[in-house]
Amino acid sequence: MSQPIFGNQLSSFVKRNGSLVVLIFLFLLFSLTIANFTDSRNLTAIMFQSVVTGFLALGQFLVIVTGGIDLSQGAMVAMTSIVVSVSMMRYGAWAAIVCGLLAATLLGFCTGLLVAKTTMPPFIVTLGMMGIARGIAMMLANAKPVPITNDTFKLLGSERIGWVPVSAILLVISALIIHYILRFRRIGRYIYAVGSSESSARLSGVNVARIKLLVYMLSSFFCAIGGMIWTARLVSGSPVGGYNYETESIAAVVVGGASLSGGEGNVLGTMAGVLIFQCINSMLNLTGINPFWQGAFKGLLIIITVAISGLRGRGKLLGSRKGAKSV
Amino acid sequence: MKRSLPLRLSKNGPGASMMQASVILIVLIILAYILSSGVFIQPTNLLNILRQNTMLLIVVLAEFLVILTGGIDLSLGAVVAFSSVIVVLFQGYGLGLALVMALAGGLLIGLLNGMLITYLRLPAFVITLAMQQIVYSVAKVMTNGAKIEHSLNGAMLNMRLTQLYKQDLFGVSVPIWFCVGMVLLVSVYMHTKYGYYIYAIGGNDKAARMSGLPVKTVRIMAYVLSGLFSALAGFLFVSRVGTGDPDTGTLLSMDAIAACTIGGTSLAGGKGNVSGTVIGLLVLCVLNNVMSLVHVSPNIQPLVKGLVILIAVYMNNMKSKGDN
């Protein structure tokens, strides 16, 4: 928003969607240099691996746009997976899906309430929620994995149309809906407004508390969807899984061009961010590089992207939230 | 400068938030005393709490320094894991060398964090998150993902190292000396020129820069100290557990941040003090201790901990809201 206009539409598109450009570049590079990269099998695998992080990143993106952060995502995934697998044993697949969505959204409602109505920082609220969600998962499952026997539910993790996973189509549809809302609906513009300057938003009559409540609920809702796909792929509910998933979603959102001080970024960039990491994972797998280097690649990529966008929009990324908020 | 700052400290520093944390700690201690029918208050148990949490204490102090500048350090746990690997790899050549190598590693990582954050003006959260990934990754590559017990030259773990944690010095166990030493060290640091500068920078970065304070140096120093402290914690980890573990400490930074916040350190920077932070840490430690003393199922423990964090921070914020 604050960038100078060079009159060239292409260059401004590139600037707004840096992560998309990086994704296309990496994709071309890998498909030219690595033999099986563009194999339909490998592309399917990349999509399968992207879906869970994709849903989490979608929720995380909404939260980060408002200037918050959600650390409870990984625990929320574990909790959903347990709620779903436990309730499925008694009530069947559809009821279980509803239970999972309700449980996560309810907890997201609590998070949102605490963030919106108190002065507690989102970092701490979601850190506490992380413990609570993890505890609920452990309690319900007695710290043991719960198997999934329902075949219809398993399809959620494995069904494909051609070589495109159904879960990936679900993700694309969700991302498009969120994109549409953020771009063209009033509530979407409000979400950006809260992130770029909370006090201005409040003074212009935006119900800031309601917006915050909404994004944390949506984040948990998407965690629930991601968690169910994750459960279906694992064929069991796991109370101890999903550790540090929030790190991955935050990384994807940041690489996708959103600023942690809020008010910036778009859905397309975030999705590109998710795919960039999965492409790198796939490259490491195919080339036989020690998989333990994965984290180093990830970290370097994060630093480089942030450095580039930081140098571009100096004033905005000063690091201190005070500077960023006083637009 | 030096004159006006302590005035500000007396208003924001040992004031409101520490009281809240102390109240919670006292309530917890009373509860612990009743629930454990007196076992909790026995000196052996109290000393045990300190011995078990020496590492956490050191890491919390590191996080405290960084948070006070208005930053955050998520790479602490990774540095602990990395330095535990380094210590095991080099202890065959002498303990001193192992410690120096570990500290050098921590210093380097802290320096990198600090330089990227200050000179490129990048957000601390993102940089230290990235650094966490990188450092864990390097540690795992070094050990091939496994825990290690052998030095580079094939030597088994040095007995002196594993004995260190169990030894007594002047009748007090060594890890407790470490606790006391580190708390004193940081308290003294906070009363030097640089300590006051940290408050100034965290309180208002721009004002500090305008008044000619060495903002960059002070901020980098905070990250360097954080790296050094975490490396020391890694050394103690090896001494206590007896292995170098590239997977350890994934939730350490989170615990450290929670302890700081419970103790009244503001995540926005510039507000908080050492004693409050130590009390915040004790809240977490006592909670863990009493839960294991009265055999609370480990399945419920994360839930209780989460609730206590929320309640404690909620109480802090209620008070500070009233102040303003």
d(CA A52, CA A60): 12
Nearest CA to CA, how far is A67 from chain B (Å)?
Answer: 13
According to the model, what pLDDT value does residue A313 have? 52
* One-letter amino acid for residue B195 of the chain: G
Which of A123, A244, A254 is the closest to B250 by Cβ?
A244
**What's the pLDDT tens digit per position in A31-55?**
888 888 888 888 888 888 899 999 9
CA closest to B112 among chain A residues: A303
Q: How far apart are the CA of A201 and the nearest CA of chain B, in angstroms?
A: 21
Spatial distance between the Cα atoms of A234 and A50, rounded to a whole number of angstroms: 15
Q: Would you call A296 and B137 a contact, using CB atoms and an 8 Å cutoff? A: yes
Question: What stretches of A160-201 adopt beta strand conformation (E)?
Answer: 160-161, 164-165
Q: Say how many CB pairs under 8 Å bridge A and B.
A: 169
Q: Which fold has domain A35-308?
A: ABC transporter involved in vitamin B12 uptake, BtuC (1.10.3470)
Checking if the pLDDT of B112 tops 50, the result is: yes
* Tokens 């030097």 belong to residue: B192
Shortest alpha-carbon distance between residue A300 and chain B (Å): 7
Q: Which residues of B touch A63 (CB under 8 A)?
A: none
Nearest-angstrom CA–CA distance, B228 and A307: 25
> With contacts defined as CB-CB under 8 Å, which chain B residues touch A315?
none
User: Which secondary structure element, helix H or strand E, spans residue A154, and what is its range?
Assistant: helix A151-158
Contacts of B180 (CB under 8 A, 6+ apart): none
- In Å, how far is A111's CA from the nearest CA of chain B? 10
Contact call for residues B28 and B149 (beta carbons, < 8 A): no
The first and second tokens of residue A281, run together, are: 């994972």
Q: Are A50 and A57 in contact (CB under 8 A)?
A: no
Given a cut of 70, the residues of chain A with pLDDT beneath it are: 1-12, 15, 310-327
What are the Cα distances from residue A57, in Å, to A70, A222, A245, A269?
Answer: 10, 9, 10, 11
For B306, the closest of A128, A247, A302 (CB atoms) is A128
Contact check, Cβ <8 Å, B317/A254:
no
Cα angle B207-B212-B218, degrees, rounded to a multiple of 5: 85
Contact A319 B121 (CB under 8 A): yes
Six token digits for residue B162: 């594993």
In contact, B58 and B236? CB cutoff 8 Å: yes
* pLDDT confidence of residue A21: 85
Q: Is B79 on the interface with A (CB under 8 A)?
A: no
A283 closest CA partner among A45, A82, A21, A4: A45
Rounded Cα distance between B19 and B12, Å, is 12
Amino acid at B76: L
Inter-chain touch B123–A317, beta carbons under 8 Å: yes
Q: What is the pLDDT of residues B38-64, one digit of tens each?
A: 778 788 888 888 888 889 999 999 999
Query: Looking at chain A, which residue has its C-alpha nearest residue B308?
Result: A128
Contacting residues of B for A123, CB less than 8 Å apart: 257, 267
Domain boundaries along the sequence of chain A: 35-308
B208 Cβ neighbours under 8 A, 6+ residues apart: B197, B200, B201, B215
Contacts of B206 in chain A (CB under 8 A): 323
Domains identified in chain B and CATH numbers? 4-9+18-323 (1.10.3470)
Chain B, nearest residue to A123 by Cα:
B267
Alpha carbon of A303: minimum distance to chain B alpha carbons (Å): 6
CB contact under 8 A, A131 and B131: no
Query: What would the pLDDT profile of B211-270 be if each residue is shown by its tens digit?
Result: 888 888 889 999 999 999 999 999 999 988 888 888 888 889 889 999 998 888 888 888
Q: Are A250 and A74 in contact (CB under 8 A)?
A: no
Q: Which member of B120, B307, B314 has the closest CB to residue A120?
A: B314
Q: What is the CA radius of gyration of chain A?
A: 20
B134 and A129: CB-CB below 8 Å? no
Give backbone dihedrals phi and psi of B7, rounded to 5 degrees, phi first.
-60, -45
pLDDT value at residue B3: 44
CB B219 within 8 A of CB B201: yes
Give yes or no for B97 touching A (CB within 8 A).
Answer: no
pLDDT of residue A236: 86
Cross-chain Cβ contact B205/A322 below 8 Å: yes
pTM assigned to the model: 0.87
Q: How far is CA B158 from CA B9, B55, B103, B178, B239, in A?
A: 46, 20, 18, 20, 9
Q: Do residues A61 and A256 lie in contact, with contact meaning Cβ atoms separated by under 8 Å?
A: yes
AA letter at B239 = S
Buried b (16+ CB within 10 A) or exposed e, B121-145: bbbbbbbbbbbbbbbbbbbbbbbee
Cα B109 from Cα A271, distance rounded (Å) = 30
What was the pLDDT predicted at B132? Answer: 93
Does residue B256 belong to the interface with chain A, where contact is any CB pair within 8 Å? no
Is B137 near chain A, with CB under 8 Å?
A: yes
Mutate to test the interface with B, among A117, A118, A120 (most CBs of B within 10 A): A120
A85 close to A237: Cβ distance less than 8 angstroms? yes
- Kindly state whether B145 is in contact with chain A, defined as any CB-CB distance less than 8 angstroms: yes
pLDDT surpassing 80 at residue B9? no
B316 vs A312: CA distance, rounded Å: 38
Residue of B nearest to A122 (CA): B267
Amino acid, single-letter form, for residue B250: T
Which residue in B125, B130, B140 is closest to A303 by CB distance? B130
Determine the Cα–Cα distance for residues A288 and B98; give it in Å rounded to an integer: 32
Chain A residues inside the 8 Å CB shell of B126: 254, 260, 302-303, 306
Closest chain B CA to residue A111: B310
C-alpha distances (whole Å) from B23 to each of A205, B27, B29, B42, B107 are: 39, 6, 10, 21, 37
